[in-house]
Amino acid sequence: MEASGIHVAGIESANVHDVIKTGVPEREQYIANYIETLENLGKEDIHLVCYNFMGVDTFLW
């Protein structure tokens, strides 16, 4: 993409594993993996990660 003049400035998501969300003891390794993923994205000049981008209907009918 870079060769075509397109720069990827951000990505829609870097998935957060359910183990992190539920807070179980083995979450520390998954958190370390997620941090590594974010660091690697930064090294590739991608500094925007949009977590769980999804429109949600907040109206109750």
- What's the pLDDT at 13? 77
28 Ramachandran zone, left/alpha/beta (phi>0; psi -120 to 50): alpha
> Which residue ranges make up each domain of the chain?
2-49
Tracing tokens 């969300």 back to the chain, one arrives at 21
Give the separation between CA 20 and CA 52, rounded to whole angstroms. 15
Give the residue from 53, 54, 61 showing the smallest Cα distance to 10: 53
pLDDT at 17 (0 to 100): 87
pLDDT tens-place values along the chain, 61 residues long:
778 988 888 888 788 888 988 889 899 999 999 999 999 999 999 999 987 655 555 555 5
Q: What is the pLDDT of residue 3?
A: 87
What was the pLDDT predicted at 12? 82
